[in-house]
Amino acid sequence: MVKTHCIFQKLLRQQAGMLEHLPGRGLHIAIFVLVLLALSNCTMIPRYTRPTAPVPAKWPSGPAYKIKPSGKVAADIKWQEFFVSGQLRKLIELALENNRDLRIAALDIEESQALYQIQRADLFPTVTAAATGLDQRIPAGLSASGRALTSHEYSVGLGFSSYEIDMFGRVRSLKKQALEQFFATVKARRSLQISLMAEVASDYLNLAADEEHLEIAQETLKNQQVSYNLIKSRFDAGISSGLDLQQAETTVDTAQVDIAAFTRQVAQDENALALVVGAPVPADLLPSGLSAITLKHISPGVPSGVLLRRPDIMQAEDLLKAANANIGAARAAFFPTISLTSSLGLASPQLSGLFKGASGTWSFAPQITLPVFEAGRLEANLKASKVNREIFLAQYEKAIQSAFREVADALAQYGTIGGQLKAQQALTNADASAYRLSQALYSKGISSYLDVLDSQRALYSAQQGLITIRLSRLNNLITLYKVLGGGA
């Protein structure tokens, strides 16, 4: 037999012995039992212990991991402090007010809270008040006295019916389960809020990057148009060949293709940003370039301490606790169910005598139900609840492992993106020098225009690659802040 986590049975036996000699002791004992059980916290829920985190005690180390554990932990940094750019902060505030997914999450919390209150209400009796009046005539043929009878009956009273006395904690276990599920919805909203802020920032960065891509394409077209006009003049004068003219025209057409593509991408980025914000984005909040966006430095902290503060991990643990509480309800189903129906009121054959003396009525009808044969239903239900807990335990552990992997990946990118950015900047500078040199050599007739085209393509590719890496660096900081539990 499962032991309950309380001692109220012992207290009941002691106190019932003291009440045996009082007048009307049966009623007194019943009332005392009811009050004591109402105040009792007895359940058959297994004792919960937080599972050990199934991840290493330290973050991975190696050439890719160069972040130093200095500064605030992400979970301690408010999002207003992390997102330094004023325009981006205003956009995030707008998203928090208007995003529909976040509204749905808030409504889920309200629904879960209402369901918890419904479950909690089962701990208390439902008291109803009723007033009835009955006037009845019985004909002589149906009357026992052979004469027609007219009867009158009036009554008022308070009572409750089928109130379950939660002696073995079934109702309390279900209440505990509903409470943990409510907590889980709160954590789910917090997790969604963090993801929303990260998505707003990422869309904002993508828009800024594509605008820079477009500017470079437009600048390249302008330079290529100048080169084309110069070569056409030289061709008309018989100095340049027709091949040079065709190659120059090709570069102009290529730049125009890129401009159209980036113009379309900028428009789509604006649409994506408006959707996640949940409202039209004011023109004064649009980005003015990646260089104007700055983010705060964060520290990874200790794995177990940081990951357990992530809302999604806390949500998984709340669901595990809810599954654990459900076992208590399944255990309590093996024991007797005690219900109580009672009423207290006034009754009289005449309305005028309803509130006079000797008109009081009361009833007290306890009932106990003991499962005898359930064809294995209760055992199967208990087994199912235990298996369900193991499922949520595995999901909780998987959530921690996935979170560890997300942080490790972000740290690996953080440790290498700086070197990649530095190398790309050097490559861009070298390609710019090579492009200027090829132009000078071509103008003096020392090299062909093909050398100019090759150096121009290399510079254009390096410039676009530099923007992409700068974007990746900022997105990496946002990802790192998100996966470390920041933004709450």
Under a CB-based contact definition with an 8 Å cutoff, are residues 94 and 279 in contact?
yes
Please state which of the four CATH numbers 2.20.200.10, 3.30.450.20, 1.10.645.10, 3.40.50.2300 is assigned to the domain occupying 124-165+335-370: 2.20.200.10
- Return the structure tokens found at 444: 């003096």
- Return the structure tokens found at 266: 């900028």
Fold type of domain 47-123+168-333+376-483:
Outer membrane efflux proteins (OEP) (1.20.1600)
Q: Nearest CA to 37 among 119, 123, 132? A: 123
Q: Residue 211: its pLDDT value, please?
A: 94
Q: Residue 24: its pLDDT value, please?
A: 45
One pLDDT digit (tens) per residue for the chain, 488 residues? 444 445 444 444 454 444 444 444 444 455 555 545 544 567 789 999 999 999 998 888 888 887 666 667 788 889 888 998 889 999 999 999 999 988 898 888 888 888 888 888 777 777 778 778 777 778 877 777 778 777 777 777 777 677 777 778 888 889 999 999 999 999 999 999 999 999 999 999 999 999 999 999 998 888 878 777 777 776 767 766 677 677 777 778 888 898 999 999 999 999 999 999 999 999 999 988 888 888 887 877 777 678 888 999 999 999 999 999 999 999 988 888 878 787 777 776 666 666 676 677 777 777 788 888 788 888 999 999 999 999 999 999 999 999 999 999 999 998 899 999 999 999 999 999 998 998 888 777 787 777 888 888 899 999 999 999 999 999 999 999 999 888 66
Q: Residue 448: its pLDDT value, please?
A: 75
- Return the structure tokens found at 305: 């301490």
Under a CB-based contact definition with an 8 Å cutoff, are residues 223 and 347 in contact?
no
Domain ranges of the chain: 1-42, 47-123+168-333+376-483, 124-165+335-370
3-state secondary structure string across 313-338: HHHHHHHHHHHHHHHHHHHHCCCCEE
* DSSP H/E element including 151: strand 149-165
Q: Residue 196: its pLDDT value, please?
A: 93
CA angle at residue 73 from 70 to 74, to 5 degrees? 125
Q: Residue 406: its pLDDT value, please?
A: 93
Q: Nearest CA to 139 among 152, 123, 151? A: 151
Under a CB-based contact definition with an 8 Å cutoff, are residues 307 and 55 in contact?
yes
CA angle at residue 349 from 346 to 350, to 5 degrees? 90
Terminal CA-CA length for the chain: 45
SS3 268: helix
- Return the structure tokens found at 24: 């009307």
Q: Residues 6 or more apart from 38 whose CB is under 8 A from it?
A: 123, 124
Q: Residue 30: its pLDDT value, please?
A: 52
* DSSP H/E element including 199: helix 170-236
Q: Residue 102: its pLDDT value, please?
A: 87
Q: Residue 37: its pLDDT value, please?
A: 53
In 242-353, alpha helices (H): 242-277, 303-307, 311-332
Q: Residue 2: its pLDDT value, please?
A: 46
Instruction: Please state at what angle helix 377-443 crosses helix 449-483, rounded to 10 degrees.
Output: 150
Q: Residues 6 or more apart from 142 whose CB is under 8 A from it?
A: none
Q: How far apart are CA 305 and CA 316, in angstroms?
A: 16
